[in-house]
Amino acid sequence: MIRLCFNKGTILLRGEVGTPYGKWDPRVECYRIKAMHYWDALAYLKESKLAFQDDVPNLPPIQQLNSTVELRPYQKEALDRWRHANMRGILILPTAAGKTYVALKAIGLLRTQTFIVVPTLDLIDQWRKRVAEHLNTEAGAVGGGENTVRMITVSTYDSAYLQAETLGNKFMLIVFDEVHHLASPSYMQIAEMYIAPYRMGLTATYERSDERHSLLPRLVGDPVYTVGVEELAGEHLSPYTYEKMFVELTPDEQRAYDDEMATFRLYLREKGIVLRSAEDFQKFIMVTGRDHRAREALLARNRALKIALNSDAKLGLLGRQLEANRNEKTLIFTLHNDLVYTISRRFLIPAITYQTPREERREILENFRKGEYKAVVTSQVLDEGVDVPDASAGYILSGTGSTREYIQRLGRILRKVEGKRAKLVEFVSKETVEVGISRRRRHKKATED
């Protein structure tokens, strides 16, 4: 008897038959197939008119859904394109354009076991809330200490990866929120180790600087729909302004900055090292693991950068800005957690970092949404996805040179609310390496992604 069964994120085909989709596994003496090729293998067996027993899917029970999602025209078009592509593919929509609703509509139409994979715990909460509101059912959650599997289950990428061995055969539709994450070497195994035939990827920032996004079509499907910020700004997204404000380092900071940078540059000059690209820099960092002096040079540069990014002058400017715009709902972004807490202590603004207890995070975000808190300061944890509809001002005190980070931070203040004019302000320390970092992140405009 030919028998298919799910085995730790793969399919085993037992019996006297092979398949072009699997490989002979001498360790267990039968064919082994990637979970994502399960349906191909199934079709092969059916076409060959072979009798077989299929023990692979282990789907949670179907629950009643009551879908109340109404789509905007561009969202509807995105969904139609996806359905025409055999319910596989990637939708590229700007943050705040309502990607979630497209996915919720798809779930409502398919009425099948669905796994939603998201980057952060905050997003698990947010998706569960949306599922409850718009599909009128309770979603399960995997990650952050929870482990309940339901017809609709939301998980972090981490948990989806770690638990692929047990969750891989439980879903028919898989939605990857912020799908660009999926291209990393470990996370891509999520796509390979789950059987779900229907797949949807959502992102505002499809391209990755490491080019690995080219792997995504094989795993999720091709990009089937793209729309940019400019096309939606005004009608579907808030109009916004962008401003760069320069600060001068304090004299002490300037002196320390110059000293540290001199140490760094001297070392590079002595060794004849030229750092032109991210790869050059990566190689240099590897050298610092072996060479004590190289490490000293690197540390000096990092200290200099930290001075520029965390300059006291920025705090003074932030104070003045907050005072002048006290009615705006404000998000403050930094690169380092230290600065988050410095700001939180100084201005007594709620902080959210990876160290914030989960309950407190929920409470702060809820109060921020309700308008009971006017401002929140955060490092990178709120970059993605979390929805604060009427935030209208964003201050970037420091960040990396990443375009993605910039677009995502911008997205946090773009959700459309009648009469809202959003503004994004970037603080940059004059005559420091930060000027270049800031230029890099806006090098590509958001709409071109």
Which C-beta is closer to another protein: that of 62 or that of 286? 286
Q: Write b or e for each residue in 322-352: b if 16 or more Cβ atoms lie within 10 A of its Cβ, otherwise e.
A: beebeebbbbbbbbbbebbbbbbeeeebbbb
Min dist CB 202 to another protein, Å, is 25
Which C-beta is closer to another protein: that of 146 or that of 291? 291
- Cα 165 to Cα 430: distance, rounded to the nearest angstrom: 51
Which positions lie near another protein, rule CB under 8 A?
Answer: 7-10, 23, 25-29, 32, 34, 165, 185-186, 189, 192-193, 282, 286, 289, 292, 295, 319-320, 322-323, 326, 341, 344-350, 355, 357, 359-360, 363-364, 367, 372-375
Which C-beta is closer to another protein: that of 239 or that of 319? 319
Min dist CB 364 to another protein, Å, is 8
Which C-beta is closer to another protein: that of 359 or that of 418? 359
Which C-beta is closer to another protein: that of 36 or that of 149? 36
Which C-beta is closer to another protein: that of 137 or that of 288? 288
Min dist CB 10 to another protein, Å, is 5
- Cα 318 to Cα 324: distance, rounded to the nearest angstrom: 10
- Cα 353 to Cα 229: distance, rounded to the nearest angstrom: 28
Alpha helices in 85-237 (DSSP H): 99-110, 121-135, 157-162, 164-167, 188-193, 216-220, 229-232
Q: Dihedral sign for Cα 165, 171, 172, 177, please.
A: negative
Among 245, 131, 230, smallest CA distance to 177 is for: 131
Min dist CB 23 to another protein, Å, is 6
- Cα 273 to Cα 398: distance, rounded to the nearest angstrom: 27
Give me the half-sphere count of Cα atoms (radius 13 Å) on the Cβ side of residue 399: 29
Cβ–Cβ < 8 Å for 114, 170: no
Which C-beta is closer to another protein: that of 30 or that of 96? 30
Which C-beta is closer to another protein: that of 73 or that of 357? 357
Min dist CB 192 to another protein, Å, is 7
Phi then psi for residue 31, to 5 deg, are -75, 140
Cβ–Cβ < 8 Å for 201, 176: yes
Q: Are strands 146-148 and 240-247 parallel, antiparallel or unpaired?
A: unpaired
Min dist CB 350 to another protein, Å, is 5
Q: Write b or e for each residue in 209-223: b if 16 or more Cβ atoms lie within 10 A of its Cβ, otherwise e.
A: eeeebebbeebbbeb
Which C-beta is closer to another protein: that of 29 or that of 243? 29
Min dist CB 15 to another protein, Å, is 14
- Cα 220 to Cα 92: distance, rounded to the nearest angstrom: 13
Min dist CB 372 to another protein, Å, is 6
Min dist CB 121 to another protein, Å, is 17
Which C-beta is closer to another protein: that of 76 or that of 346? 346
Cβ–Cβ < 8 Å for 384, 119: yes
Q: What is residue 51's DSSP assignment?
A: -
- Cα 177 to Cα 161: distance, rounded to the nearest angstrom: 14
- Cα 206 to Cα 223: distance, rounded to the nearest angstrom: 9
Min dist CB 123 to another protein, Å, is 22
- Cα 408 to Cα 69: distance, rounded to the nearest angstrom: 25
Min dist CB 229 to another protein, Å, is 30
Phi then psi for residue 444, to 5 deg, are -95, 135
Which C-beta is closer to another protein: that of 165 or that of 235? 165
Token couple for 328: 């705006």
Alpha helices in 335-395 (DSSP H): 337-347, 358-370
